[in-house]
Amino acid sequence: MTVPAPPRTPHHPRRGGRTVQPPPSPFQAVPSPPATLRIVVADDNPVVRAGLTALLSGRDDITVVAEAADGREACEAAHAHRPDVVLLDVRMPGVDGISALPYLVGIAPVVMLTYSGEAEIVQEALRRGAGGYLVHGEFTADQLVTAVRDIRAGRPHFTPTAAGALLAQLRETATASVALPDGLGATSAIAHGEGTSGESAGHPQGERWWRPFGLPPAPPPPTSAENLSQLQPDVAQSSSGWTSGRPAAPDRSRYRLSAREAEIMDLIASGMNNQQIAAACFISEKTVKNHINRIFAKLHSTSRSEAAAKWLGTAPGTDRGVG
């Protein structure tokens, strides 16, 4: 019977008094690249869809697996592809985004990406499960990418208009006091002077002074244009200013932009650069630059930020239409 030879110990040659290690094996495990974030984009505007797809697909860790033109197509695409995040417009023909939202959130986190900034729509979208709400013109391309990544990780994102609507809802619905830890908010109002009516020397009847602050109670926060007029009459009482608690739509007709120029100005306001606009509109970057030069001339602007502010009605002194 043949006795098997003992296993040979690998011999590492010595060089200069030290052992020379063999080269690493090409089959050794290497760190795997980060998982690709898979997106479904739903918007009835093909230009917006193409622009978002071009913007997001340019990132190494993001791919757009499907596009949809309405809520029904968005549901079908989400069911077929099981994406990581859905970008969803609000106003679409057929099945709108709000109607599709309850089904979509059962498949993947949903970010509302829309021009609709009405408080009622924002609140209803959040009530139905949206994980974020981004209003076009209030974020840059990099901020959109960051929002998509954060939504996948369970971190909500809101642009200023949406955040304001959420804050207004919290204030309006806060009818019952909530017990806070460590006695926070427990200091009560105690009237100085005689009596319990709050009347004290040198102060109008009914006015209470608050201990320990030594100050009269603060007025209620303004919740409408009427209340706001008490603090800022020039803002609230202007017929072209704030209405219904939110800014009215800007009057853009005076700029006399062509349909193509208005389309490009919308993309500029959404944060796209010339390359992304060219891809979204299927034109060359040179043509984009020519359009932008004409847009700047009509808007009397010298920069993208200045033009966007005028287009969105946020520039100082910009007149707004009543909306």
204-218 confidence digits (pLDDT tens): 444 444 444 454 555
Cα–Cα distances (Å) from 164 to 82, 127, 128, 167, in that order, read 32, 15, 18, 5
> Given the structure tokens 């139905």, which residue do they identify?
128
Residue 93: which of 66, 116, 71, 124 has the closest Cα? Answer: 71
What homologous superfamily is domain 37-169 in, according to CATH?
A: Response regulator (3.40.50.2300)
Phi/psi of residue 55, each to 5°?
A: -65, -50
Q: How far apart are CA 156 and CA 110, in angstroms?
A: 10
Most confident option among 28-32, 53-57, 171-175, 319-323: 53-57
What residues form DSSP beta bridges with 111? 87, 132
| DSSP reduced 3-state for 165 | helix
- 242 touches 228 (CB < 8 A): yes
Q: Give me the half-sphere count of Cα atoms (radius 13 Å) on the Cβ side of residue 269.
A: 24
Question: What is the CATH number that goes with domain 247-312?
Answer: 1.10.10.10
Residue 62: which of 46, 79, 39, 44 has the closest Cα? Answer: 39
What 8-state DSSP symbol labels residue 182? G
Residue 35: which of 61, 65, 6, 72 has the closest Cα? Answer: 61
DSSP secondary structure string for all residues of 249-302: PB--GGG---HHHHHHHHHHHTT--HHHHHHHHTS-HHHHHHHHHHHHHHHT-S
**Where is pLDDT greater, at 168 or 19?**
168
Phi/psi of residue 128, each to 5°?
A: -90, 5
Q: How far apart are CA 42 and CA 113, in angstroms?
A: 9
Residues in Cβ contact with 109 at an 8 Å cutoff, skipping those fewer than 6 apart = 84, 85, 86, 131, 132, 151, 152, 154
Q: Model confidence over 215-232: pLDDT tens digits?
A: 455 555 544 433 433 433
Q: How far apart are CA 283 and CA 20, in angstroms?
A: 60
Domain ranges of the chain: 37-169, 247-312
**Which pLDDT value is given to residue 165?**
83
**Which pLDDT value is given to residue 219?**
54
- 133 touches 109 (CB < 8 A): no
308 pLDDT band, cuts 50/70/90, is confident
Residues in Cβ contact with 73 at an 8 Å cutoff, skipping those fewer than 6 apart = 42
**Which pLDDT value is given to residue 69?**
94
